[in-house]
Structure formats: structure tokens, C-alpha cells
Amino acid sequence: APVVAVVGRPNVGKSTLVNRIIGRRQAVVEDVPGVTRDRVAYDAQWSGRRFTVVDTGGWEPDAKDRAARIAAQAENAVATADVVLFVVDSTVGATDVDESAVKMLRRGGKPVLLVANKVDSDRQESDATALWSLGLGEPYPVSALHGRGSGDLLDAVLEALPTEAPRDDVDKPRGPRRVALVGRPNVGKSSLLNRLAGEERAVVDSVAGTTVDPVDSIVQIGGEDWLLIDTAGLRRRVGQSSGTEYYASLRTNAAIDAAEVAVVLLDAAEPISEQDQRIITMVVEAGRALVLAFNKWDLVDEDRRERLAKEIDRELRRIPWALRVNVSARTGRAVDKLAPALHTALDNWERRVPTGQLNSWLTALVQATPHPIRGGKAPRVLFATQAGTSPPKFVLFTTGPLDPGYVRFVERKLRDEFSFEGTPVHVSVKPRT
């Protein structure tokens, strides 16, 4: 979502304006004791348009060099924002500090809207008019406290925001969720499909890709319909003669691409192989939700179970977040665990963390464990937004590039905090420019 930054001197009413914009009383900045906030970000919406509003807190009223502080603050805000709301107290008028901030804001080249706050009545409109002198164009007279003028201001904010591609994923009625059942030959894919659906049923319910080659099938898992991608490939028993492995791999890749969630079937009685790893990699790189199903559990004895646990630690270390179920297509063991696992993975895959919640967590995290110092200084993480879902994508706005190790640390903590089991998560870094 585009970012709207709110900047200004202390006590001009920035937080009140932010609360007015987000329209929720309880979203009032929640202070974490001992934590100095640089900035706090919230989700906001106006006329159906979503954006992120950033309250630039972290102001220290007793700082020695006030002008330098506000300049730095304005600079940060300009660098990361799409639109800047510069708030001035119209009952006080433009101060020197306001004027030095204006210079910075101009240099940033971002659209700036001048907010003349505390215009609580018609009589005070002339105070706002006086702010033309700042050279930022027409001041928007607003009473953040009473709401006066805030609608016009928000209309202007929307006008200034970059245009956005229409979203097609909002409230779209959806059919059955799309599942790819994949795994190397002989792990038991066809057997599991038959266990889930029964040969009869899978054929009867086939959705015709072409009339001669039914591709996807609707199968009931846990009493619900799911769209199983490319069941024709599963029934055909690909991979039996030489040269077909390449095509099997293409087919696997296509199925994963077409799916929302992949069940990677592994043979629990056999060591985790390179081919298993390649299929897992396809799922992770395609950004699909992932459930690992260890099949043939009926063949697993105590000894194998222990060895498998070690193999999992060693071989699947890169995906500790993958959901695992131990099933037997032959006996039907734990096959009913599949549907709940698919749901958990899909829910997390599509989850959106509210920006306020994300940032109060992040602020505490980077305060407790700052980035290590590099060449005399450490880049700081300013705030984060969730840029997308399916899979969840996060952007960290920072003062400079971060060590990959630190990004992984943040990702790991993010997973711990918001439980993204069963889904890849992308974390990218946007250093201030």
C-alpha cells in the first residue's frame, strides 16, 4: 500500500490527525515502556482506497538541536513516503523550525500537503490562510480534534497518491481451493488419491481440461471439495520408462504453479532424496503453501522413526515452517489430518498482519536486538509494511542495506510472532534513498 507520512513539530496535533485518519480511537499509539519509537504505521482507508499512514514520533522535545532533529525526521519521512502531510499549528503560525522543515521537504521531491491544524471554527480560517507564506501552496484547514476539514484533506491525499492497479482478489467468490499432490515416482501419490477419492469418484468428478484428457479433479477431503490439479498425470503413472522424468518434472512444476497449496508426498520408509528436495524447492520458489506428507507410515518402525527424525533435522532445516503429517495411503492412517493441515497452510499463506501490530512488534524487536555495527555505524529499521499475501511479503524500510543474516533473523522472529506455519514468507529491504 502507498505510504502517507505525517510530519511536523511536537504538539501540532500529528497523532490526533493520524487517529482522525485511521478513524479508530483504540489505535492511539500504544507506548511500549523503554522503547523510543521512530515512527508508527497504521492501515488506513478512504473512499475505498487503502494506504499506510506513518506517524513520525520519536521526537525528543529536550533535544539540543531541534532544527536538526526535525530536519532529519522530515528527511526520513520524505524518503519512504509517497505523500507527506506537513502539519502546522495554525494558532501558532509558521515558526523557524517549520520553515527549515519546508526546505527539506521541498528537496525530497515528494508531494507535500500543508495541513493547517487546529482550525476549529470559521473564524480561525484566516489563521490557515496566513500559512501560504510557507510556499507549499494552499493550506488545508483542518481540526484534527473535531474532524472539521478532514474529508477534504483525505480527498486531496487520494489525488496525490500514485495510481494503483485494480485489485482482483478482493471478495472474489471462490470455488474449491487448488491443491497439487506431488512427489517423486512411487511415493504413493496415486494410492493417496484413490484413498481420498476412490478411483470411481475421481473419474466421475473429473473436470474436463479437454474431453479426452481430464486434468483436474474435484475430490472430497475432510468432507469438503478440493480441486486436485493434474490428477490425469497421477493416474497415468508417469515416470515408468526412461526419458519421462524430465516431462514428469515439467508436469510437477506446472501443477505447483496452478495450485495454491502443494502436498509434497514423501516415502517415510526411504531416505529423503535429492529428488524430494528438488520438488520441495519448486514449491518454495513458486511461493505456494506447503504441506509435507510422509506416506507409508505403516512401514515405519521405531528404528526408522528415529532415523527419519534425524534426516528431517538435517535435510529439511531450511523449511522448519513446513507442516508435516504422517499418513498411510494403504491403511488410511491419519489421512484425515490432511484437510486441517491444508487449511492452516492456506490461512497463513493469505494472512495479513495489521500494520500497527506489525510495527509495535518490530519496534520492540529492533530495539532489543539492533543491527550489528558495520564500519562504525549500524543501519536502522524504521518501519515495515506487508506488501502482499499469497505468500506474505514484507518490506522493511531502513536507513541503509541490512546484512542478510539480520534479515533472516527478522524473518525468523516474524514467523515466531505471527505463526506463518506452512507458508514461505518474503522479507525485502528498502533502504532510504
On whether the CB atoms of residues 67 and 396 are closer than 8 A, the answer is: no
Query: DSSP letter string over 39-106?
Result: -EEEEEEETTEEEEEEE-----TT-S-HHHHHHHHHHHHHHH-SEEEEEEETTT---HHHHHHHHHHH
Residue 110, φ and ψ in degrees, nearest 5:
-95, 155
Cα 382 from Cα 370, distance rounded (Å): 11
Q: Is 298 annotated as a binding residue?
A: yes
CB atoms within 10 A of CB 356: 21
Q: Closest CB to ligand GDP among 78 and 234?
A: 234
Q: 76 and 55 in contact (C-beta within 8 Å)?
A: no
Least distance to ligand GDP, CB of residue 203, Å: 16
CB of 267 vs ligand GDP, minimal distance in Å: 8
Q: Report d(CA 239, CA 245) in Å as an integer.
A: 5
Distance CA 309, CA 301 (A): 12
183 is known to lie in a ligand binding site: yes
Q: Is 185 annotated as a binding residue?
A: yes
In the complex, the smallest distance separating the C-beta of residue 327 from ligand GDP, rounded to whole angstroms, is: 7
Of 245 and 298, which CB lies nearer to ligand GDP in the complex structure? 298
Name the residue nearer to ligand GDP (CB basis): 146 or 201.
201
- Torsion over CA of 264, 269, 271 and 277, rounded to 10 degrees? 0
Comparing CB distances to ligand GDP, the nearer of 23 and 332 is 332
- Minimum Å gap between C-beta 282 and ligand GDP is 16
When CB distances to ligand GDP are compared, the closest residue is: 188
Residue 62 marked in a binding site: no
Smallest gap from Cβ 342 to ligand GDP, in A, equals 18
Chain-centre distance of CA 202, in angstroms?
36
Residues that bind ligand GDP (CB under 6 A): 183, 185-191, 234, 295-296, 298-299, 328-330
Distance, in Å, from the CA atom of 425 to the CA atom of 415, rounded to the nearest integer, reads 8
Shortest distance (Å) from residue 200 CB to ligand GDP:
16
Is 96 annotated in a binding site? The answer is no
- Which residue, 146 or 333, has its beta carbon nearer to ligand GDP? 333
C-beta closer to ligand GDP: residue 77 or 325: 325
14 annotated as belonging to a binding site for a ligand: yes
360 is in an annotated binding site: no
12 is in an annotated binding site: yes
Instruction: Quickly count: other Cβ atoms within 10 Å of residue 127's Cβ.
Output: 19
Write out the binding residues for GTP. 8-15, 55-59, 117-120, 183-190, 230-234, 295-298
